[in-house]
A and B are shown apart, each in its own frame.
Chain A
Amino acid sequence: MKLTRREFSAGLAAGLAAPALMRSAWAQGATIKIGMCVPVTGPAAEQGLWAQNGAKLALAAVNKAGGVLGKQVELVIEDDQTTNPGIVLAFSKLAAQSDIVAFLGSIRSTQVQAMAPDVIKVGKPVMIGGTNPDLTHSGNPWLFRFRPNDNYSGRVIADFGVNTLGKKKWAIVHSTDAFGTAGGKALTEALTKLGAPPVLDQGYANQSQDFTPVVLAVKQSGADVLGTYFTFENDLGIFARQLRQLGVNIPWVGSPSVVAVSSTKLAGPALFGTYGVADFAEDSSDTAKAFGKSYRDAYKTAPDNQSAWPYDAITILSAAINKAGSTDPNKIRDAILATQKFAGAEGEYNFDKNGDGLHGYNVVKNDKGKIVYDKHIDFND
């Protein structure tokens, strides 16, 4: 049933693409369109803005270098309102425009999950930033991930803490949303494998006004290292400050939000000396440095992963379409999956059969308010 439907939709997509191709053959000067679902409103509007910045930066570079298949590339943006129904509508609105060849989905895993059934129906490649491992592991052939998934963040945090810092008594604090829950689980598994199961696994609800009970639980657990998965920067800021106020100064290795630009600004000294895994670290590679420079020049602020992954997604997608020589979804898919050893801002892309491009994280340190690159940890599986 499933197979036939996929074959059917692939065939349908090819059928739809054929007249579009013929049309584009005589419609000279037309553009190649890429759809992008991004939060313009809602709680993640801030991050949505950065994502657009990153995508537009890559777009400018691609177009300057001659575009795709000899045409300029155009970005069609739809607001996903930071909600699941929002992205379903946004995506279906984009998908209704048959001349859009591929899409950028969300950095939020639940949103990707919400749009996934429609993605299968549409049958065109969708670049995503959501890090829930399941997204690319549940048989959806059209999702391509431009960030390392949470299995890797958990493994990198555990590996760095246990092997580099030499700490074995872990306290884990995570948000109870999808991201935090999955991350906390991955970290617990990785630690258990390394022979250091956590002494505390503490969840909290987003938009808490106070973290005293959580901090006291960490303090009482006797842990000598802290691993965290925070979703929102203002929660992280409140937690970090209360953690220091109540005298907890153990090493802290956290998910990307610990070293995000706005957390650094909000929490100030409370985050000094913390480590965070970051899919994006400006000093990790020459490509990242180059991206950082052009981003700063264009937007006057520091880049982070929110802008880096769409940047890479547009860059690699454009290269893949050029390599495929056509906008046929299946050919684009093959070209993306064939992308190996591609240096992106986020790291080196080696796509596996699931559509995961990255397999490791950078570890970065907050050195008195400045985020400095520490090391890169990659896995082969």
Chain B
Amino acid sequence: MDLVLQLLFTGIGIGAVYALVALGFVLIFRATNVVNFAQGEFSMVAAYLMVVFSVDLGWPYWLSFLIALAGMALFGVIFNLGVYYPLRHRTYLPVIIATIGASILLSNSVLAIYGPQPQVLQGWFDTPGIQLGPVYLDSQYLLIIGVTILLVLFNFWFFERTLLGKKLQATSQDKEMASLLGISVSTMIMITFIYSAVLGGLAGILVAPVLFVSIQMGSTIALKAFAATIIGGFGDVAGAIVGGLALGVIETFGAAYISVPYKDGFAFLVLIAFLVFRPQGIFGERVAEKA
């Protein structure tokens, strides 16, 4: 039982990481109908920004954090203008490939600038964790889970209760209709990219103390996060969160009770099973589109 609780905590912790990155995926997908293959690199770039300000320049943690997130907002703008915007009238395929190109460009640019050594980034807390009965709770994972819960609430409030959120919703559901209502679609998409980059960045900064800061840190998480979005139901915010958590838990238990080396395989097996038997995901609507 102790074992199960410990695995459950870890599964939820790692699942929350997937969920955070998945959220960024979903927002961009809803707004543009495009899967952003560079989403993982958003996290990586933010973590490196943190290293630059907090470790190299020695600035206070909170200040570095704010600067890094502001940097990510700017990054979102550049990414939209450089990668998505010029291709917005084309089909999804060229855009997917452009984001793959962006992912290669980003990871190797950071490699060129910062070198290949993994970096250490401290967490928010000095205490590494709490022993709660038989279960050890890593403080950084607790923070990640907390932030994920807050973000779920925030997203709900933002998309359902604010005008901007509703405009974003409208844009993601029907662009033509939205523009008829006087909403600037390209502004809404820009905002989506900014928000998504900040979210991805937040995820990167939060996991950096656990996974270290390295060039590859984002891409491995992003693939899982991508799987999580489909399990949850593509384009569904709640689905991304639940999908991420489910994936983390499945993976951890699968590793503990079936096979560690095939751990990464479970995620994809579950994914294929979902695609074949329930392509709409846990929450999603039917995907088939007709006439």
Do A and B touch directly, given a CB cutoff of 8 Å in the complex? yes
Q: In the complex, which range does the number of interface residues on chain B fall in? A: 20 to 34
Whole-angstrom distance between the Cβ of B185 and the nearest chain A Cβ = 37
By beta carbon, the residue of chain A nearest B251 is A210
Which residues A16-55 have CB closer than 8 A to chain B? Answer: 41, 43-46, 49
Flag B48-66 by CB within 8 Å of A: 1 or 0 each: 0000000000000000000
Whole-angstrom distance between the Cβ of A178 and the nearest chain B Cβ = 13
CB contact under 8 A between A210 and B252, given known A45-B116, A262-B118: yes
Is A61 in the interface zone, CB < 8 Å from B? no
Contacts of A380 in B (CB 8 A): none
Contacts of B6 in A (CB 8 A): 212, 216, 246
Q: Which of A197-205, A276-284, A291-299, A343-351 contacts B (4 or more CB under 8 A)?
A: A197-205
Is A220 in the interface zone, CB < 8 Å from B? yes
Interface centre among B17, B260, B264 (most CB of A within 10 A): B260
**A265 near B252: Cβ-Cβ < 8 Å:** no
CB contact under 8 A between A205 and B260, given known A213-B252, A245-B136: yes
Contacts of A217 in B (CB 8 A): 256, 260
- The distance in angstroms between the C-alpha atoms of A160 and B260, with both chains bound, is 28
- The distance in angstroms between the C-alpha atoms of A169 and B92, with both chains bound, is 56
Contacts of B252 in A (CB 8 A): 210, 212-213
CB contact under 8 A between A46 and B115, given known A209-B17, A246-B6, A266-B212: yes
**B136 near A41: Cβ-Cβ < 8 Å:** no
Which residues B202-227 have CB closer than 8 A to chain A? Answer: 210-212, 214, 216, 220-221
- The distance in angstroms between the C-alpha atoms of A46 and B261, with both chains bound, is 25
Contacts of A207 in B (CB 8 A): 216, 220
Whole-angstrom distance between the Cβ of B137 and the nearest chain A Cβ = 9
CB contact under 8 A between A210 and B10, given known A246-B136, A247-B136: yes
**B214 near A213: Cβ-Cβ < 8 Å:** no
Return the contact of A209 from the options B108, B115, B221, B262 (Cβ within 8 A). Answer: B221
Return the contact of A266 from the options B118, B255, B262, B263 (Cβ within 8 A). Answer: B118
- The distance in angstroms between the C-alpha atoms of A46 and B220, with both chains bound, is 19
- The distance in angstroms between the C-alpha atoms of A280 and B195, with both chains bound, is 49
Contacts of B136 in A (CB 8 A): 245-247
Contacts of A245 in B (CB 8 A): 128-129, 136, 138
**B116 near A205: Cβ-Cβ < 8 Å:** no
**B116 near A208: Cβ-Cβ < 8 Å:** no
By beta carbon, the residue of chain B nearest A45 is B116
Flag A224-239 by CB within 8 Å of B: 1 or 0 each: 0000000001100110
Interface on chain B toward A: helix, strand, loop, or mixed SS?
helix
**A238 near B211: Cβ-Cβ < 8 Å:** yes
Contacts of B221 in A (CB 8 A): 209
By beta carbon, the residue of chain B nearest A214 is B260
By beta carbon, the residue of chain A nearest B255 is A213
Return the contact of B14 from the options A210, A246, A268 (Cβ within 8 A). Answer: A210
Flag A242-265 by CB within 8 Å of B: 1 or 0 each: 000111000000000000001001
**A234 near B212: Cβ-Cβ < 8 Å:** yes
Is A176 in the interface zone, CB < 8 Å from B? yes
Contacts of B282 in A (CB 8 A): none
Whole-angstrom distance between the Cβ of B138 and the nearest chain A Cβ = 6
**A202 near B211: Cβ-Cβ < 8 Å:** no
Contacts of A233 in B (CB 8 A): 118
Interface centre among A176, A202, A210 (most CB of B within 10 A): A210
By beta carbon, the residue of chain B nearest A42 is B116
- The distance in angstroms between the C-alpha atoms of A247 and B136, with both chains bound, is 9
Contacts of B211 in A (CB 8 A): 209, 234, 238
Whole-angstrom distance between the Cβ of B111 and the nearest chain A Cβ = 7
Is B113 in the interface zone, CB < 8 Å from A? no
By beta carbon, the residue of chain B nearest A247 is B136
Whole-angstrom distance between the Cβ of A208 and the nearest chain B Cβ = 7
By beta carbon, the residue of chain B nearest A238 is B211
CB contact under 8 A between A204 and B260, given known A213-B255, A266-B120: yes
Contacts of B262 in A (CB 8 A): 205
CB contact under 8 A between A216 and B7, given known A203-B260, A245-B128, A247-B136: yes
Contacts of A220 in B (CB 8 A): 3
Contacts of B210 in A (CB 8 A): 209, 238
- The distance in angstroms between the C-alpha atoms of A209 and B14, with both chains bound, is 8
- The distance in angstroms between the C-alpha atoms of A204 and B221, with both chains bound, is 17
Is B187 in the interface zone, CB < 8 Å from A? no
**B263 near A208: Cβ-Cβ < 8 Å:** yes
**A237 near B212: Cβ-Cβ < 8 Å:** yes
**A213 near B220: Cβ-Cβ < 8 Å:** no
Whole-angstrom distance between the Cβ of A110 and the nearest chain B Cβ = 17
Whole-angstrom distance between the Cβ of A207 and the nearest chain B Cβ = 5
**B260 near A41: Cβ-Cβ < 8 Å:** no
Whole-angstrom distance between the Cβ of A12 and the nearest chain B Cβ = 39
- The distance in angstroms between the C-alpha atoms of A262 and B13, with both chains bound, is 26
Closest 6 CB pairs of A and B: A46-B116, A213-B256, A212-B10, A45-B116, A213-B255, A176-B261
List residues of chain B with CB under 8 Å of any chain A CB. 3, 6-7, 10, 13-14, 17, 108, 111, 115-118, 120, 128-129, 136, 138, 210-212, 214, 216, 220-221, 252, 255-256, 260-264
* 19 sample A-B contacts, Cβ–Cβ < 8 Å, listed by A number: A41-B111, A49-B115, A176-B261, A202-B260, A204-B261, A204-B263, A208-B263, A209-B14, A213-B252, A213-B255, A213-B263, A216-B256, A234-B212, A234-B214, A237-B118, A238-B210, A238-B212, A262-B117, A262-B118
Q: A212-B252, A234-B211, A234-B212 provided; 17 other pairs, C-beta below 8 A?
A: A43-B216, A45-B111, A49-B116, A204-B263, A205-B263, A207-B216, A209-B221, A210-B13, A210-B14, A213-B255, A213-B256, A213-B263, A220-B3, A245-B136, A245-B138, A266-B118, A266-B212
